[in-house]
Chain A
Amino acid sequence: MADFLIELFSEEIPARMQFQALQDFKKLWEDRLQKENIPFEKVIPYVTPRRLAAHIIGLPLRQENRIEELKGPRVGAPQQALDGFLKAAGLSIDDCVQKETDKGLFYMAQKMHQGREMADILSLLTNDIIRAFPWPKSMRWRDYSFRWVRPLHHILAIFNNKVIDGRFDLGGTFLKFTDHTQGHRFLAIDPFQVTDIAHYKSELEKRFVLLDTDERRTQIKNQLENCAHTKNVVLKEDPALLQEMAGACEWPQIFMGTIDPSFLDVPYEVLETAMRNHQKYFSFRTKEGEFAPYFACVTNNIPKDNGQKIIQGNEQILKSRLFDAKFFWIQDQTQTLLSRVEKLESIVFHEKLGSLKEKIERLQLLSKEIAIVIKADPIKTARAALLCKTDLVTGMVGEFPELQGIMGRYYALHDGESQEVADAIASHYAPLGPSDKCPKELVSTSLAIADKMDALVGFFANDLKPTGSKDPYALRRAALGIIRLILENNLRIPLFKLIEISYKSYGSKVSTTDFDKLKFEIMEFFVDRLKVFLREKGIRHDYINAIFSQGQEDDLSRLCLRIEALSDFLQTEDGGYLLTAYRRAGNILRIEEKKDAKIYTNNVIVELLKEEEEKSLFSMLNNVSANATKKIQLEEYDQAMKYLVMLRQPVDLFFERITVNSDQKELRKNRLGLLTHIVSTLHEIANFQKIEG
């Protein structure tokens, strides 16, 4: 057994590509080795800004010899067929035997494939894998035709402690495989010879390269924690930035700087966004959770002056960044949000759906209606709707689009708008994803629902629906957002009415004229999202169908209560039994109805109920039907289910003792009516036919 070490040494690989490259490199090696029938224990990939490497453990020194069974033509086939077979296989007739198969007597031969030297195979595979490597963006350099993510400078390839004799064709020159590599770009530039993985890793570490991305990440994290500790503050966690920074250095060194106090009157969100997006700095909070006036930068050098120059430089660049931010902060406040409403005319919401100005006009209408339904302040809601997009035309949001909403709140408060209006402006985009919070305040919630409903209706009504994996207007997220806003706040909202108000507010901007079709289409879209949402809570999609297919339900909260009650019920023994009975009744009906070519109704003639079991079932069905429906109207779904349970015994006895297919025609018809009655009674609760399994 022996190990293989390969390193592709290039100019700086973009940080964002490194993680995927790691996966791809591992997978390519595993796949290619498997394809060549070469056993191996493990492929461990590594990536740094300048190298993509892999350590392959437990390879044989030689590929095993392999015997291939070849099947020739039938014995007695024309001579050309036999000659062709022998020629293609490189064999003579003496190598063949005649063998009886289930299709007759055939020429068979065994061909021996001599296993090749592992080093030779690795040389070939190295070439193949480099060529097949799927960089998201690649380039040429000099006058070579080969493409790599950035210029590729050497290929280190060591098998069993020896450099592999081989080379790679760059399409203009060759890179001969080497056993030399380099350490850190500034701190250890001299090349050194590598013997094996342990040596490679330890020598690199001596030369200021941490090969393992996880180790670099841990290093950064620890140093950040230390920085926080020395200033008695807390690091603001940012895993995505941590990952990116681990890909931006081979030897991470953290330095901490101070934010110039003259910028501390700018909202902390602005400071943090400017620091993170422009400068990739980490931020800190005080132990009390307030913004702390420090930043930390990840560097790739060990400076001789302990970082004085680096800190000074970073503080200076941050200052000029924040100078710009502060300029916008002050400048933006010289104009009210209200005075910016007109400017929204020049921003396109969507070419078919008009400008943002038109959008806020619709939102004022729609959000006000929602506010009335959920008992929020309609005037404040409409005011928030009027102003909710105006921060998009401020200098700050122009510079930092991710501060939309947040800046709106600051500017609204500055203008003297009420806290509710300001909060609603800030949170009307929420929730932006599954982990984002939903606003709780009613004015905010009204506007948040309106913003999303306006988009859903507008795009659906212009046939700009999501298709397959394509959802360019994030309508799935919008629908899920509305679902969460309603359910998490326990709101009761008739969605059909909202859809209608929204639809009408578009006036001539919508191409659909069939409103009823649109209404159900959107409702179905909601239900599809609801299925995904409830599936995560362990509720089966067929239960949702069973309730939803009942028809006019457009209140998501009620829909969920009913689904939950049904789900609980079906998980009990009684529930399971009743489902079986329902199916039995349905099956008998289906067969008989087909036989008779007619549909039976639940029209039961009392006089024809002969047996005790028939009578008691009939009276119980009537009882349940009346009371369960009443309970459903009262929204007491658990109670409704309890009535269903009462059906168990009479249904049980009916099936046990009564012959449905009586010889007497009238009795048979009446009993089939009774079966229909069972089905229709259960259907008043849910469409049990939709339940699977």
Chain B
Amino acid sequence: MKDTKSVSFQNIILKLQQFWGDLGCVILQPYDMEMGAGTFHPATALRPLGPNPWNVAYVQPSRRPKDGRYGDNPVRFQHFYQFQVLMKPSPLNAQELCLQSLKAIGIDTENNDIRFLEDDWESPTLGAWGLGWEVQLNGMEIGQFTYFQQLGGIECDPVSFEMTYGLERIARILQNVEHVFDLNWNGLEGPGKFTYGDVFAQNEREFSAYNFEFANTDKLFEHFKDAELECVSLLGHKITLPAYEQCVKASHLFNLLDARGVISVQERASYIARVRTLAKACCESWMQSQEIQSLNPQELI
């Protein structure tokens, strides 16, 4: 096994930031809202639209209320981390960059079986799709590789390349531990050591209880409606980014309600459609702002 320090959870993140940062990606910090995936970050959900080049990498905490298991399951959590890379236009050597980044964090192609297996990406709530693969390492999916084709129903031109890394999965492989809670977070052994469980066990337990048992569903339904209305109203004022935040909020509220089991099968589709409508409108609004920008670059600085 490699020395713990180089494969500590935080070090994997640092190395990925270093790798993509060296290639010219803007290293962003996480978006300060609850969201289901790194894709919801406006850097990925909106920026790929429009003609302007964009290269970015960031960690995003992802909230999947339904996946909570009170910390009892070694691999399923309602809160986990994704590392997200997006490059527009997609570089011709995107696959090679992906493999090099894996090498940078200690996954070589000499002893491992790395595969690109068909897995097209589709986000019904974002009205988005792309073609690509799941990146598999020795039978385990460690990331998702996508060429964005549409966002909010709008064609991506140019096409962006997106790579999402499942950080906990990668760390489990590199550290050879079964339970995510046993991951070494800071790379120290002995008294100064912090594990993933030290950081997140209580969080998983309490949020699983919140998601499944205690979240006030009446209030959540109201919040959903509020966010929906607010989003529409803000779009009327042509302020895309605040409007989009309301869309993200609605999406997360829907996930919470879904976890609480209060949305029936029939209603489910209609809630997804409502979020998609918001996402689509935000994307359209974003496109308009991009056109203005490319016409009058100085005015908007």
Mark out the residues of chain A between 282 and 317 whose CB falls within 8 Å of any chain B CB in the assembled complex: 297, 299-301, 303-305, 308-310, 312-314, 316-317
- What range describes how many residues of A lie at the interface? 35 or more
B109 proximal to A (CB < 8 A): yes
Say whether B90 contacts A310, CB under 8 Å.
Answer: no
Q: Which residue of B lies closest to A140 (CB)?
A: B159
Does the CB pair A313–B73 fall under 8 Å? Answer: no
Q: A248 CA to B116 CA in the complex, in Å?
A: 9
Task: Answer whether residue A151 sits at the interface, using C-beta atoms and an 8 A cutoff.
Answer: yes
Determine if B159 and A313 form an interchain contact, defined as CB atoms under 8 angstroms apart: no
A137, A297, A313: which contacts B137 (Cβ < 8 A)? A313
CB < 8 Å neighbour of A309 from B90, B131, B138: B138
B293 within 8 A of A: no
- Chain B 122-181 residues near chain A, CB threshold 8 A: 130-131, 133, 137-140, 147, 149, 157-159, 172-173, 176, 178
Please judge, given known A-B contacts A137-B131, A313-B138, A323-B73, whether A142 and B116 are in contact too, CB under 8 Å.
no
Known: A151-B92, A301-B112. A16 touches B118 (CB 8 A): yes
User: Is A15 among interface residues, defined by CB-CB distance under 8 A?
Assistant: yes
Report the bound CA distance from A314 to B113 in whole Å: 10
Q: Are A317 and B138 in contact (CB under 8 A)?
A: yes
Task: Given A313-B139, A314-B139, A324-B73, decide whether A12 and B111 contact each other with a Cβ distance below 8 A.
Answer: no
Judge whether B74 and A15 touch: CB under 8 Å: no
* A560, chain B: closest CB distance, angstroms: 43
Q: Which residues of A contact B76 (CB under 8 A)?
A: 324
Bound CA–CA A422/B283 (angstroms): 54
Pairwise interchain contact B130-A139, C-beta atoms closer than 8 A: yes
A153 / chain B contacts, CB cutoff of 8 Å: 92
If A16-B118, A309-B138, A319-B178 touch, does A141 touch B147 (CB 8 Å cutoff)?
yes
Kindly state whether residue A346 has any CB partner on chain B within 8 Å.
yes
| B294: Cβ under 8 A from any A Cβ | no
B126: shortest Cβ distance to chain A, in Å? 17
Nearest neighbor of B149 in chain A, beta-carbon distance: A139
Expressed in whole angstroms, the Cα–Cα distance for A317 and B140 within the complex equals: 6
> Given the complex of chains A and B, what is the CA–CA distance between A249 and B114 in angstroms?
11
CA distance A301 to B139 in the complex (A): 13
A303 to B109, CA, bound (A): 8
A348–B266 Cα distance when bound, in Å, is 10
Q: Which residues of B contact A299 (CB under 8 A)?
A: 113, 115, 138
- Complex: A85 Cα to B142 Cα, angstroms: 68
Q: Is the CB of A186 within 8 A of B109?
A: yes
A143 touches B89 (CB 8 A): yes
Q: Are B140 and A313 in contact (CB under 8 A)?
A: yes
Beyond A299-B138, A301-B113, A318-B139, list 20 extra A-B contacts (CB 8 Å).
A141-B90, A141-B159, A142-B92, A142-B158, A143-B157, A143-B159, A150-B147, A151-B92, A300-B113, A301-B109, A301-B114, A303-B111, A304-B111, A312-B176, A313-B140, A314-B138, A316-B178, A320-B75, A323-B74, A323-B75
A-B residue pairs in contact (CB < 8 Å), sample of 17? A12-B116, A138-B131, A142-B92, A150-B147, A186-B109, A186-B110, A299-B115, A304-B110, A308-B111, A309-B111, A313-B113, A316-B172, A316-B173, A317-B139, A320-B178, A327-B73, A346-B265
